[in-house]
Chain A
Amino acid sequence: MPAIPDTDLLERYEQNPVITAADIPFTCNTVFNGSPVKLGSEYLMLLRVEGQHGYSLFALARSQDGYRFEVEDRPVMAPVTEGPMARYEVAGIEDPRITVLEGRIYVVYTAFSGYGPVMSLATTEDFHTFERLGVISEPGNKDGLLFPRKVGGRYARLDRPIGNDVGSVWVSFSDDLTYWGDSRVVITPRQGHWDSYRVGGSAVPIETEDGWLEIYHGVKMTSGGPIYRAGAVLLDLDDPSVVISRSDVPILAPRTDYERVGDVGNVVFASGAVVEPDGMVKVYYGAADTAICVATAPLAEIIAVARAGRR
Chain B
Amino acid sequence: MNTKISKNIVRRWAGNPVISIRDLPFHANDVHNAGAARHEGRYVLLVTIENLRGDCSIFRAWSDDGRRFEMDPEPFLAPSLDGPFAEYEGRGVRDARITPFDDTYYITYLAESEHGFRLGLAETRGFEEVVRVGLISEPDTKNGMLFPRRIGGRFVRLERPREGGNIWISYSDDLVHWGGWNVVMTPRNGFWDYDRIGASVPPIETECGWLLFYYGVRNLPGGPLFRLGVAFLDLDDPSQVVARSNVPVLAPHERYERVGDVPNLVFSCGAVLSEDRSEVEIYYGAADSCICLGTVPVEELERTCAAARAAGDD
A95 at interface, CB cutoff 8 A: no
Is A141 a contact partner of B138 (Cβ separation < 8 A)? Answer: yes
Minimum CB–CB distance from B274 to chain A (whole Å) comes to: 35
14 contacts between A and B (CB under 8 A): A115-B166, A115-B183, A135-B180, A136-B181, A139-B161, A141-B138, A161-B139, A162-B163, A164-B116, A179-B171, A179-B172, A179-B180, A180-B179, A182-B177
How far apart sit A174 and B137, CA to CA, in the bound complex (Å)?
A: 13
How far apart sit A84 and B237, CA to CA, in the bound complex (Å)?
A: 14
Known: A138-B137, A183-B137. A114 touches B177 (CB 8 A): no
Of the residues A116, A141, A159, A173, contact of B177 by C-beta under 8 Å = A173
A118 at interface, CB cutoff 8 A: yes
Is A181 a contact partner of B178 (Cβ separation < 8 A)? Answer: yes
| Interface of A toward B, CB cutoff 8 Å | 84, 87, 114-118, 134-141, 159, 161-166, 168, 170, 172-176, 178-183, 185, 188
Report the number of A-B residue pairs with Cβ-Cβ less than 8 Å.
109
Is A182 a contact partner of B134 (Cβ separation < 8 A)? Answer: yes
Is A164 a contact partner of B139 (Cβ separation < 8 A)? Answer: yes
Which residues of chain B are within 8 angstroms of A118 by Cβ–Cβ distance?
181
Minimum CB–CB distance from B165 to chain A (whole Å) comes to: 9
Known: A115-B166, A140-B163, A179-B171. A163 touches B115 (CB 8 A): yes
Size of B's binding interface in residues, CB under 8 A: 36
Known: A116-B164, A174-B177, A181-B178. A138 touches B116 (CB 8 A): no
Is B136 a contact partner of A181 (Cβ separation < 8 A)? Answer: yes
B135 at interface, CB cutoff 8 A: yes
Minimum CB–CB distance from B158 to chain A (whole Å) comes to: 12
Which residues of chain B are within 8 angstroms of A163 by Cβ–Cβ distance?
115-118, 138-140
Is A170 a contact partner of B138 (Cβ separation < 8 A)? Answer: yes
Which residues of chain B are within 8 angstroms of A178 by Cβ–Cβ distance?
179-180
B131 at interface, CB cutoff 8 A: no
Closest B-chain residue to A134, C-beta based? B180
Minimum CB–CB distance from A144 to chain B (whole Å) comes to: 11
How far apart sit A135 and B170, CA to CA, in the bound complex (Å)?
A: 10
